[in-house]
């Protein structure tokens, strides 16, 4: 078994139960690895849809905690876990491709122990959880609870062997009482690889050689973790048991129910936070003497502004999802209203209100809002390179290669007369080792030069130097960020990029060349739905590329 999978530890629950679960897991799953596919290089044509092997991701920290909150309540202990990683933007991809350390395994053990001690220490809590009072270790009460609870934890019914093993654990460790044995059995279940990893290996599909069709329970798992960012509830598992998730129509019905729940909004915010890289706002600071509008709390307000904008476009208005890069509508509190210079009746430091940015003003869309402008700037100056790189990678899904080894990417401080950032960057654009990448990134980045590193709009650079905000996007001359927003409003690559990013997030890996047709098909459906993001989610979860996987590669 791959080393990234959990392995037995030292607790009594593990000695009698967890090691057996590992053995079953190893026998059932060929390898606990994440397949990161080759990114599409844009060459050639895929003749048919060829799906990749399963990724088998570990639960992210957020998915783990969301699931346990649902089982035990939000007041349960929150033990530390190993940090998630996000290669290719998303934690799901990191969960598919990174190795869990031995210390990480120990943290899962300590978390399970703390949670079960909390749940079973209080008679009222344990009675609410179990639903009955054990008369003896391993009795019908214990067995019935482990059957019900095990289905929620493993996201499928326990086999008779599994149920028997966990009942035996509860009997063997029933010291001083049946309750303690049951607690340790639950602790062991929470350390099972079938809980910590999403085991979605499917069954052979006779109608489609080379593919495996996900079972109903595997589809329930995929749906729940994509649309709720947590494990499926009983209703979704019941739908799987009835066979309702075996066909696209049943999957669509289930997905609509999940999307109507508030948990779906939180899950989609998780996706957009990673897609838009909002985590980089954390810890941003500016010198208040140089940037008087950058208050101590404005970075949090900038993040909240984007979250409200996403929620409005995706769930409230269900408009063109691409409009987050071009709309003049946004949501501001008092601090943001002052930074943007807009009237916002009713706004306070803690209250956000919708506003319409002026039609003749400099701002339109997310790329002119404080979050983007500050997190893609240095502490004391702007960064056309960082801003242009974001446009290329996050908005258009174009690859920007890393700088060649040994190349100095810092700007020398200006000597003599003051210089604008554009003038200071001449050295990079004239250096043959840097020129190609900077000519790719900087032209769209220069469009934001009127916005300083706090997101404030300025008309002159320090020393009263005039600001040149002209640039271009792939050879199309543009005067400023507003003109870029107008281009992005109808730019086909924006919609296709959203599809690609959602696909990677949902699959827990980068798409392969063989999945090009799936992305093209989903992009076409997205366009036909007027770029309604909720419709895209339904199209994705009912698509063959989501409901099937490729055959496991031979070792």
pLDDT of 415 reads: 60
CA 370, distance to chain mean position in Å, is 22
State the DSSP string of 348-374: -SS--EEEE--TTSS--SGGGSHHHHH
**pLDDT by residue, tens only, the chain of 555 residues:** 333 333 333 344 443 344 344 333 433 333 322 333 334 444 444 468 999 998 889 999 999 999 999 999 999 999 999 999 999 999 999 999 999 999 999 999 999 999 999 999 999 999 999 999 999 999 999 999 999 999 999 999 999 999 999 999 999 999 999 999 999 999 999 999 999 999 999 999 988 888 999 999 999 999 999 999 999 999 999 999 999 999 999 999 999 999 999 999 999 999 999 999 999 999 899 999 999 999 999 999 999 999 999 999 999 999 999 999 999 999 999 999 999 999 999 999 999 999 999 999 999 999 999 999 999 999 999 999 999 999 999 999 999 887 777 666 666 666 666 788 888 887 666 677 677 888 999 999 999 999 999 999 999 988 789 999 999 999 999 999 999 999 999 999 999 999 999 999 999 999 999 999 999 999 999 999 999 999 999 999 999 999 999 987 655
Which structural domain range is residue 374 located in? 285-488
Residue 496 inside a domain? The answer is no
Whether residues 33 and 140 fall in one domain: yes
C-alpha torsion 457→459→461→467, nearest 10: 110
Domain count, the chain: 2
Residues 376 and 383: beta-carbon distance below 8 Å: yes
Residue 275 neighbours by CB distance under 10 Å: 19
> How much is the pLDDT for 405?
74
Same domain for 301 and 339, yes or no, is yes
Q: Both 464 and 530 in a single domain?
A: no
Please indicate, yes or no, whether residues 423 and 520 belong to a single structural domain of this protein.
Answer: no
| 547 & 446 share domain | no
Residue 326 and residue 486 in contact, taking contact as beta carbons nearer than 8 Å: yes
8 Å CB contact between 257 and 534: no
Within a domain: residue 494?
no
- Torsion angle of C-alpha atoms 113, 118, 123, 127, degrees rounded to 10: -80
**Do 289 and 261 sit in the same domain of this protein?**
no
Residue 502 covered by a domain: no
Residue 38 and residue 157 in one domain: yes
pTM of the predicted protein model: 0.90
Q: What angle do CA 94, 100, 101 make, to 5 degrees?
A: 135
User: Does a structural domain hold residue 539?
Assistant: yes
- Return d(Cα 500, Cα 516) in angstroms, integer: 10
Together in a domain, 432 and 549: no
What is the rounded end-to-end Cα distance, in angstroms, of the chain? 13
Residue 493 inside a domain? The answer is no
Residue 216 within any structural domain of the chain: yes
Question: Are residues 183 and 245 located together in one domain of the fold?
Answer: yes
């Amino acid at each position: 078994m791959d080393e990234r999978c959990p392995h037995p530890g030292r607790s009594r629950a593990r000695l009698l139960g967890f090691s057996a679960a590992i053995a079953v897991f190893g026998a059932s799953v060929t390898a606990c690895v994440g397949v990161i596919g080759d990114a599409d290089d844009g060459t050639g044509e895929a003749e048919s849809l060829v799906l990749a092997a399963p990724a088998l991701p570990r639960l992210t920290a957020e998915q783990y905690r969301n699931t346990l909150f649902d089982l035990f309540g939000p007041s349960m202990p929150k033990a530390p876990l190993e940090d998630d990683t996000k290669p290719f933007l998303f934690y799901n991809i990191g969960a598919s491709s990174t190795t869990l350390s031995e210390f990480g395994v120990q943290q899962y053990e300590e978390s399970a122990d703390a949670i079960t001690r909390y749940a079973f220490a209080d008679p009222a809590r344990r009675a609410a959880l179990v639903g009955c009072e054990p008369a003896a270790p391993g009795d019908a009460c214990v067995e019935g609870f482990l059957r019900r609870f095990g289905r929620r934890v493993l996201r499928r019914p326990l086999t008779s062997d599994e149920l028997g093993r966990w009942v035996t654990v509860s009997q063997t460790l029933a010291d001083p009482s049946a309750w303690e044995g049951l607690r340790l059995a639950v602790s062991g279940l929470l350390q099972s690889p079938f809980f910590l990893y999403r085991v979605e290996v499917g069954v052979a599909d006779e109608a489609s050689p080379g593919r495996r069709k996900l079972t109903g329970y595997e589809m329930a798992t995929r749906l729940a973790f994509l649309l709720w960012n947590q494990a499926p509830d009983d209703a979704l598992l019941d739908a799987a048991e009835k066979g309702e998730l075996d066909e696209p129509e049943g999957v669509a019905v289930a997905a609509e129910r999940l999307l109507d729940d508030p948990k779906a909004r939180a899950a989609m915010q998780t996706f957009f936070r990673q897609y838009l890289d909002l985590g980089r706002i954390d810890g941003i600071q500016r010198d208040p003497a140089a940037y008087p509008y950058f208050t101590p709390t404005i970075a949090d307000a900038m993040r909240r502004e984007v979250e409200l904008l996403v929620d409005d476009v995706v769930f409230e208005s269900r408009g063109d999802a691409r409009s987050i890069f071009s709309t003049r509508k946004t949501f501001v509190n008092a601090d943001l209203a002052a930074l943007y210079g807009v009237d916002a009746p009713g706004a306070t430091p803690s209250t956000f209100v919708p506003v319409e940015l002026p039609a003749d003003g400099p701002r339109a869309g997310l790329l002119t809002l404080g979050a983007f402008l500050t997190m893609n700037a240095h502490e004391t100056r702007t960064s056309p390179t960082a801003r242009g790189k974001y446009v290329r990678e996050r908005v258009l899904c174009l690859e920007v290669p890393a700088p060649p080894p040994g190349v100095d990417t810092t700007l020398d401080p200006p000597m003599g007369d003051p210089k604008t950032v554009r003038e200071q960057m001449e050295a990079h654009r004239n250096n043959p080792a840097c020129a190609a990448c900077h000519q790719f990134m900087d032209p769209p980045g220069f469009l934001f030069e009127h916005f300083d590193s706090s997101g404030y709009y300025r008309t002159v650079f320090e020393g009263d130097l005039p600001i040149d905000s002209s640039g271009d996007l792939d050879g199309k001359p543009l005067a400023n960020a507003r003109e870029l927003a107008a281009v992005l409003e109808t730019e086909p690559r924006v919609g296709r990029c959203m599809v690609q990013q959602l696909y990677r997030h949902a699959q827990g890996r980068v798409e392969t060349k063989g999945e090009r047709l799936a992305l093209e098909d989903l992009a076409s459906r997205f366009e036909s739905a007027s770029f309604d993001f909720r419709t895209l989610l339904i199209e994705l979860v009912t698509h063959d590329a989501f409901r099937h996987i490729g055959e496991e590669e031979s070792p």
